[in-house]
Structure 1
Amino acid sequence: MGRGFIRKKMEGGAMSSNTDDFSNFGPFHLTSIDWTNSYYRTSVASSLVNGVYTLEGDRREKRVGSESLANPWWEFFNFTLMETLIDDDGAIYGAVFEYNLYSLYQNTPNVKVPHHVIAFRGTVLKGKTWKSDMKLNLKIMFNSLHHGGRPVHAMRTIRSMVEKHSESAIWLAGHSLGAALVLLAGKSMTSVGFLLESYIFNPPISTIPLEQLPGGDKIRGAFQIAKSVVKATVAVALADHKFQEDNTKTASWIPYLYVNPKDPICAGYINYFKHKTFMSKIGASKIERTGARKSVRCLLVRGKGKTSHSDLSTEPLHLLPSADMTVNYNKPTKSTTAHELHQWWERDSAMRENWESCCIRPYHKGKLGQLKQLTLEK
């Protein structure tokens, strides 16, 4: 899924001619960056992702020299393009950026500043790259994204950066299909002890978006509870033989998620975390965790084989114990659809009042801090 997917459906395939033009479309109102402010961090991260979209647009449209449009998306925020990540078909799917002013903040406590940001675009339904993009989207649906050539290349790049630099100064950012890459990479790196700050915009989720189905909250809630109980029972009976605890390493990774309830691609995260919180309140967390760890397909296809609790390839990509989630409740318009990336650098402060922040934690703050320290020590 990607920047143009919903717009293509709503506008008959027409793409606005200025979407790559920073001077018309970007967050040029941010003349200085307050790294202690989450809105500023969100705007920078989403702009760098849009820079990757525009890099691919420049390549595809053969825009070079003064005609290229990509550079302002990172240069405006004092970043330098270090490396472009290129797929087998020659398309640019990601980039590594370096923050030029990082050294000024090294001795500043309690300020989140990246030294490097690795950013990934979503699906582009133009040129030849749409085929490889859609193949990866299908892999997301069948929980096999880790088998793709692009994810393997992306993970190799991230591991190399972590080996060269402190992971505390490396950020990941992605939109839609790119958000799925960040989820995969973030969870994988966390499983080996590296916690990468991650900004995940409109990530796809392979569940029914209950928020958009008819019926009241009670009906939707009852459906979710029933599904968790059935899946947990089947998982215990066929595979794991016990209810699951949270993976403490994954629980210590707290990515930033950005979703819109009108976006069918990512809306399911809202109900997922709502259900997770409710099950915790009624003392049924183990049932919810056990049921969530396996998709219906995994239970049917792999149910007879035991799997490791840390085997990320067998669990749904969206499975997260912890998150800082921002929900944009603004209604889509003709110029702003629910899946668009540019909603996350919204210039109108009144519109930002309709953003809701949700912090999901499986443990209290002190316990989570202990888990994070243990993860970093391993």
Structure 2
Amino acid sequence: MPEHRRSVAASLIQGVFVLERDRQEKRTAHNALAPIWWNFFEFECLETLVDPIDSSIFGIIFEYQPKNFPNHIYPMYVIAFRGTVIRRETRKRDLLLDIKLALNGLARDSRYQTAFQAVESVVTKVGPHNVWLAGHSLGAGIALLAGKEMAKRGCYIETYLFNPPYISAPIEKFNNPNLRNGVRVARSVINAGLSLAITGSRNNTSHEHKDPFSTLCSWTPYLFLNPKDPICCEYIGYFEHREKMEGWGVGRIERVATKSSVVSILSGALGSDGEALRLIPSASITKNLIDKEQDFMAAHGLIQWWEPHSYWQSKIYKLSLQ
């Protein structure tokens, strides 16, 4: 059943990609290629989400409309977001958004604000338990940011993130495991020290400090990662390293460190919203451990997530607050 949900979510995201290509190539009505991606699962395109800058379609609100008996594994609505499209009509805007994502500036962009308004509207109408969020790459970044914001409000939306960008050096790509561990431990100690120094000075002047990272513990998005994809592979190391630190009895250092990065710490010190998009306390991780050679496009692509094979490995990671 989880495999089926993964395939459905990935197919609906593909529908968003193809609908934007239909728009660019002026395919309409019976010539359009996108509807097959949602009609097969008895979803309908209720509303398209359009970027106010370049007029591209970046998301769709799908409504489940079974013709016979409802399949209760599907929600009433799925809100899906596509990733970057490297075509003349979209590449400038999409690549700019990729840069904003890397600099923690996505939340201030009009595309994200359009997306979040749609999520907020649907959740207000039917409740969080009747909605899925789904996204690939840049779209996964949008879905992750929207899901985090709703979770902070106590609305936990089932969320499917395919190849979500982890903006950091891809330490997971280092071949030497001892080097990987050494770099991560050093980074944890440095980040924790910086964070404690800065937040400690803040707490001297404020007796009330709400930790948004800890409020997200009850939200567990599904992350689908390929170890050969440098865009998302560091999520694997992030969660595995945190688990190791907990096992070594130094979990508090890692909990402080994972809530921060040098960029987010410094931006926070300057008074801006420095919370990094990638920082989530809990997740259900599925790795694609297929052993065949893959280039970047294959490792980062969406198609791998509905391919039938036995190379999936899944694990749930939960943050310990002790």
| TM-score of the alignment, normalized to the shorter chain, above 0.5 | yes
Who is 1:269 aligned against? 235
Q: Secondary structure of 1:84's partner?
A: strand
Cα distance in 2 between the residues matched to 1:177 and 1:336: 15
Cα distance in 1 between the residues matched to 2:313 and 2:216: 24
Residues 275 and 102 of structure 1: CA distance in aligned 2, closer, same or farther (over 3 Å):
farther
Who is 2:50 aligned against? 86
Moved more, 115-124 or 317-326: 317-326
Who is 2:206 aligned against? none
Matched, 1:43 2:7: yes
1:322-348 deviation line (CA, Å, top 9, x unaligned): 11110001134479710110100013x
Matching residue within 167, 179, 189 for 2:150: 189
Shift of 1:227: 0.7
Matched, 1:95 2:60: yes
Matching residue within 46, 50, 58 for 2:22: 58
Shift of 1:129: 1.5
User: Which amino acid in structure 2 is aligned with residue 199 of structure 1?
Assistant: Y
Cα distance in 2 between the residues matched to 1:240 and 1:137: 33
Cα distance in 1 between the residues matched to 2:281 and 2:67: 31
Q: Aligned runs of 1:283-298 on 2, under 5 Å?
A: 283-298=249-264
Who is 1:353 aligned against? 310
User: Which amino acid in structure 2 is aligned with residue 320 of structure 1?
Assistant: I
Q: Aligned runs of 1:218-367 on 2, under 5 Å?
A: 218-241=178-201, 247-303=213-269, 305=271, 313-330=273-290, 331-333=292-294, 337-347=298-308, 352-363=309-320
CA contact (8 A) 1:276 1:285 kept: yes
Residues 238 and 153 of structure 1: CA distance in aligned 2, closer, same or farther (over 3 Å):
same
Shift of 1:131: 1.2
Q: Secondary structure of 1:263's partner?
A: coil
Shift of 1:301: 3.9
Shift of 1:233: 0.6
Normalising by the residue count of structure 1, what TM-score does the alignment of the two structures yield?
0.78
Residues 333 and 230 of structure 1: CA distance in aligned 2, closer, same or farther (over 3 Å):
closer
Moved more, 288-297 or 329-338: 329-338
User: Which amino acid in structure 1 is aligned with residue 7 of structure 2?
Assistant: S
Residues 61 and 67 of structure 1: CA distance in aligned 2, closer, same or farther (over 3 Å):
same
Normalising by the residue count of structure 2, what TM-score does the alignment of the two structures yield?
0.91
Who is 1:149 aligned against? 110
Give the share of equivalent positions with the same residue, in percent.
40
CA contact (8 A) 1:239 1:304 kept: no
Matching residue within 56, 79, 98 for 1:137: 98
Larger RCO, structures 1/2 (Cα 8 Å, 6+ apart):
1
Cα distance in 2 between the residues matched to 1:92 and 1:303: 37
Shift of 1:362: 2.0
Residues 332 and 145 of structure 1: CA distance in aligned 2, closer, same or farther (over 3 Å):
farther
Cα distance in 2 between the residues matched to 1:334 and 1:285: 36
Shift of 1:219: 1.7
Shift of 1:239: 2.9
Task: Structure 1: state its 5+ residue gaps.
Answer: 1-36, 308-312, 368-378
Matching residue within 145, 166, 169 for 1:205: 166
Q: Secondary structure of 1:251's partner?
A: coil
1:174-229 deviation line (CA, Å, top 9, x unaligned): 00000000110010000011000000000001111112124x21221111111111
Shift of 1:295: 2.0
